Amino acid sequence: MKKLNGRAIAVSAMIAAVYTAVSLALSLASFGVVQIRVAECLTLLPVLSPLGIYGVTVGCLLTNLVGAVMGLTMPVDILFGTLATAIAAALSYFLRNVRIKKLAVPAALPPIFVNGLIIGLELTWLSGSFQWDVFWTCAASVTLGQVIPCLVLGVLLIWILEKKGLDQRLFGKQ
């Protein structure tokens, strides 16, 4: 990608704003051990442009900052949750050209499994002592909570954006 210009910054900021707004509007489902953060469907936007990496990372950071202030999440999630989303978005970008029947299914796997492992580890650590059974329970819970937003909504979002040509209108030529 070339250097960031005003339009690129605006697109990334818009993605961050949508991620944050959706997460906070659906805060009951967006925070906790059992969560379905619908905004995680946006972690597939890097399939269309690397600007999606910046947008979802900043959106996750803002969401976790506000969540910590509101007491919905632990401050440590500001670091680990944001890191998990950034890694997952970058991996989705690298899988952007791998398709199953023209669907970006492989790109949905990093947000599911990276968040499951990192947030599962974080939740286990917050429990006070590391125990494998607690880790696998937390990791499974987070992983399952990522399936609907990423594998269903995220893949559908990318398919619709590409089918309607909205990916080009949003991101332009990359």
* Chain segment 3-52, per-residue pLDDT in tens: 778 889 999 999 999 999 999 999 888 876 678 899 999 999 999 999 99
- Cα–Cα distance for residue pair 35/141, rounded to 1 Å: 8
Contact predicate 101/59, CB 8 Å = no
pLDDT at 174: 52
First to last CA, the chain: 7
What pLDDT, in 10s, does the model give residues 88-110? 999 999 999 999 999 999 999 99
Tokens of 10: 């605006």
Nearest C-alpha neighbor of 157 from the set 14, 41, 56, 36 = 41
> Is 135 in a helix, a strand, or coil?
helix
User: How far is residue 33's CA from residue 10's CA, in Å, rounded to a whole number?
Assistant: 33
Mean of per-residue pLDDT scores for the chain: 92
Q: Tell whether the model's pLDDT for residue 86 goes beyond 90.
A: yes
Tokens 């707004």 correspond to 21
Which helix or strand (DSSP H or E) is residue 168 part of?
Answer: helix 166-171
Does the pLDDT of residue 127 top 90, yes or no? no
Q: What is the identity of the amino acid at 39?
A: A
Q: Which residue has the higher pLDDT, 29 or 115?
A: 115
Question: Dihedral angle at the C-alpha atoms of 116, 119, 121, 126, nearest 10 degrees?
Answer: -150
Q: Is the dihedral of CA 10, 18, 20, 95 positive or negative?
A: negative
